[in-house]
Structure 1
């Protein structure tokens, strides 16, 4: 509980300090941006250094083994959604990744069924 309060207080201070400088950039972030690059075959770290820090990125193990990505520099992009060249438009960038040195599957891994019952 104490840690959560400390993190929250630090976040509030950081947001307060930058609120005046980011007001104009928030409007620019929602406007149409440059076309999405093609990250297929590139290292996952390239994605994180290329995209704006406000971009939400979802990473999934394309092998189907549901491995967790701990070191982005050890992984490569197999497929992405939305497609390269389109406008991200505030949507989440979804990436299927494999460890470097492993072959990407021919098709992306289907979504796991949700247990709604």
Structure 2
């Protein structure tokens, strides 16, 4: 069973600069964060504390240092309207390969 890892926004806000983020897909739409570093992806998602992270290698690892991780997959897809959506980013460490699906 794959585990979904939830991290607190406080952990990321300690390493991320404050300020507004620019979303690729326009206001209210899910940006394309696939392939981005986790810090940049979280910024594009406006530091949303409800974003969940899933270990892309299925090991159930927790994201403790966001700068060391990258996004392999995202749910929902880019362009989806973000109102009331659960956002899950599948991540691996930057030196690891994303699994092909």
Question: TM-score interval w.r.t. the shorter chain?
Answer: 0.5 to 0.7
How many aligned positions are there?
75
User: Residues 48-63 of structure 1 correspond to what in structure 2 (within 5 A)?
Assistant: 48-54=42-48, 56-63=50-57
The structure number with the bigger radius of gyration is: 1
Structure 2 unaligned spans of 5+: 1-26
Superposed CA deviations along residues 3-57 of structure 1, whole A, max 9, x for unmatched, are xxxxxxxxxxxxxxxxxxxxxxxxxxxxxx4321111100111122222244520
Deviation at 1:91, TM superposition (A): 1.2
C-alpha contact (below 8 Å) 1:55/1:90 kept by paired residues: no
- Of Structure 1 and Structure 2, which has the larger fraction of its residues in helix? 1
| Structure 1 runs of 4+ with >3 Å offset | none
Query: 2:38 is matched with which residue: 21, 44, 53?
Result: 44
Q: Does 1:92 align with 2:86?
A: yes
State the superposition RMSD in angstroms.
1.4
Query: 2:73 is matched with which residue: 65, 68, 79?
Result: 79
For residues 54 and 63 of structure 1, the distance between their equivalents in structure 2, rounded to whole angstroms, comes to: 24
TM-score (norm 2): 0.68
Q: Does 1:69 align with 2:63?
A: yes
Structure scoring higher RCO (CA < 8 A, sep ≥ 6) equals 2
Structure 1 unaligned spans of 5+: 1-32, 108-117
Query: 1:35 is matched with which residue: 18, 26, 29?
Result: 29
